[in-house]
Structure 1
Amino acid sequence: MAKRKKKQKVTPAQTIITILTAILIVLCGGRATGQFSNINLGYSQNVKTSQNTPNKELASSVLTDNVKKQLGNSIVYNGHGAFIINNNKNDLNAHISSAPYAVNEVDELGRAHIGNAWLNKTSRQYKSREKTGNGRTSWKPKGFHQLTNLPGEYKHAYDRGHLLGYALVGGVRGFNASESNEANIATQTAWANEARSKNSTGQNYYEGLVRKALDQNKQVRYRVTDVYDGNNVIPSGAHLEAKSSDGSLEFNVFVPNVQTNIKINYETGYATKN
């Protein structure tokens, strides 16, 4: 006659493991596979950024036929608030034998229009505006009608938006890098000017790519064109192009002058809260 096997004792730890396993099976839809993709572990990827980054509909709202004509045929939303133009390729000549320079052009209506620059590490400015005499100002560009106490990450509507950024060209001798240079400053939304992450690509994000290249002793040809729709005082966005002489950096993008918490009248600059 076969002997009976002794009944094994179940320890408290084993009981807890059994209960947890059962819970996991239920949560995973009856499959104890060891994959936890269906379980909310409390992680959220860039929730704050996604709430404040213009979606495709808002970003595209400034792409009138006139604006698209100025940008060209290839305009593709990048998924992070801006647009890729011409597959990120541009016609800039990055093989120049000259000292760094920075120049501006206004259009026939006196609006800040184009910023052209040839940059290297000596053009970089690491000092604050206050230390170089280019501090804050009360001067306002065309259409600058501020709104404050807005909901979301960007609490105000507008910045004094530069074409050629202070950190890039502040070291160029003779260039007016102040915030009151009417040829280099236009009314720009806080998002379009300040956003700088891979998931929220405002102008500061692309300027960061140029800053990094200059810090690595690269030479960069850089152009910014504010794009206007007709006689509007507020630009529809900023067309940014860059190319390094060694070919390691090149982009061609359009950052729309929009913001999720406001609606802008581009003819006058007046905005209302969403």
Structure 2
Amino acid sequence: MAKKKKRTQNKSNLSLIIITLILVVALYISGMSPTEALDYFFGTKQSQVTEKAPESTSGDNPGPIEHGKAIFTKDELKNDKKGWIHYGELDQLGRPTTAEALITPQMIGTGTGASQDIRPPGFISGKSPHNHSRGHLIGRQLGGSGEDLKNLVTLYQNPVNTPYMTKYENMVRQAADNGETIRYRVTPVYEGNIGMPIAVDMEGKSLNSNTIDFHVTIENKK
């Protein structure tokens, strides 16, 4: 009788293992990493689990959408003569929220490359067909950190991360190289519980000239 009970229990355990593996594989296929899938199934780190972003059709990115001048307030344009960067807190789903900075010439080239150990929400792979990048909000060339999750979002490498965002980062860098101080802000825009942003909002305003004054939205599409 004891042996029969043990065989029944073993069959139940085996069935549970098989069901668990099927669910983990299904979550992995849906776009989660193996670790994320296990976390989701066993109830850990649920706040960081997000829906998979819909695939964008190659070539449907309209390019930077210009809104005119930056919308900083007078207080936000105060110059304390010392450069700084501030990253907003992660939201309840573990997504970066904003990055603000006062870019000075001394900050140029002081940033770090994106850590391969960090997987921003929504990140699957940099390889085709996903074309994902660990995109800096405050770019590396402007002093942004690639080792702080608050500064890294999942972007399509081409054309979003480059050349679209790079175009405006280069403008800010050129102004700083010429001695300018620039107020700068980058804000990811999300939809629902999708991990990667659907767009990135960028603003820049030079404090001692009209060299830099822009406000653009770049859709996160291929």
Q: Smaller-chain TM-score range?
A: 0.5 to 0.7
Distance 1:118 1:126, change over 3 A: closer
SS of structure 1 residue aligned to 2:106: helix
Indicate yes or no: 2:97 matched with 1:113: yes
Asked if 1 retains the 8 angstrom alpha-carbon contact of 2:126 and 2:133, the reply is no
User: Residues 164-219 of structure 1: CA distance to partner in whole angstroms, max 9, x if unpaired?
Assistant: 1111025xxxxxx12x3110101110121011xxxxxx111110100100000100
Indicate yes or no: 2:152 matched with 1:185: yes
Larger radius of gyration: 1
Q: 1:63-82 residue pairs with structure 2 within 5 A?
A: 81-82=63-64
SS of structure 2 residue aligned to 1:113: coil
Q: TM-score, normalised by structure 2?
A: 0.65
SS of structure 2 residue aligned to 1:112: coil
Indicate yes or no: 2:175 matched with 1:194: no
Q: Distance in 2 between matches of 1:244 and 1:97?
A: 14
1:89 to partner: Cα distance: 3.7
Q: Would you say how many aligned residue pairs link Structure 1 and Structure 2?
A: 161
2:191 match: 229
SS of structure 1 residue aligned to 2:169: helix
Asked if 2 retains the 8 angstrom alpha-carbon contact of 1:111 and 1:183, the reply is yes
Indicate yes or no: 2:66 matched with 1:84: yes
Asked if 1 retains the 8 angstrom alpha-carbon contact of 2:114 and 2:134, the reply is no
CA RMSD of aligned residues (A): 2.3
Q: 1:5-24 residue pairs with structure 2 within 5 A?
A: none
Q: 1:1-274 residue pairs with structure 2 within 5 A?
A: 54=59, 58-59=60-61, 81-85=63-67, 87-92=68-73, 93-109=76-92, 110-125=94-109, 129=112, 136-146=115-125, 148-150=127-129, 157-170=131-144, 177-178=145-146, 180-191=147-158, 192-195=160-163, 202-245=164-207, 246-259=209-222
1:82 to partner: Cα distance: 1.6
Asked if 2 retains the 8 angstrom alpha-carbon contact of 1:112 and 1:226, the reply is yes
Amino acid at match of 1:115: A
1:66 match: none
1:83 to partner: Cα distance: 0.5
1:149 to partner: Cα distance: 4.0
Q: Distance in 1 between matches of 2:110 and 2:84?
A: 17
Distance 1:81 1:228, change over 3 A: same
SS of structure 2 residue aligned to 1:225: strand
1:136 to partner: Cα distance: 4.3
Q: Distance in 2 between matches of 1:223 and 1:205?
A: 15
Which of the pair is proportionally richer in helix?
A: 2
Asked if 2 retains the 8 angstrom alpha-carbon contact of 1:53 and 1:81, the reply is no
Identity %: 25
Q: Distance in 1 between matches of 2:88 and 2:120?
A: 15
Runs of 4+ in 1 over 6 A off after TM superposition: none
Q: Distance in 2 between matches of 1:147 and 1:123?
A: 28
Distance 1:147 1:224, change over 3 A: closer
1:147 to partner: Cα distance: 5.7
User: Residues 47-102 of structure 1: CA distance to partner in whole angstroms, max 9, x if unpaired?
Assistant: xxxxx994xxx33xxxxxxxxxxxxxxxxxxxx612112x2342254331241000
Asked if 1 retains the 8 angstrom alpha-carbon contact of 2:118 and 2:149, the reply is no
Amino acid at match of 2:212: L
Mark the runs of 5 or more structure 1 residues left unpaired by the alignment.
1-51, 60-79, 151-155, 171-176, 196-201, 260-274
1:135 to partner: Cα distance: 6.6
Mark the runs of 5 or more structure 2 residues left unpaired by the alignment.
1-56
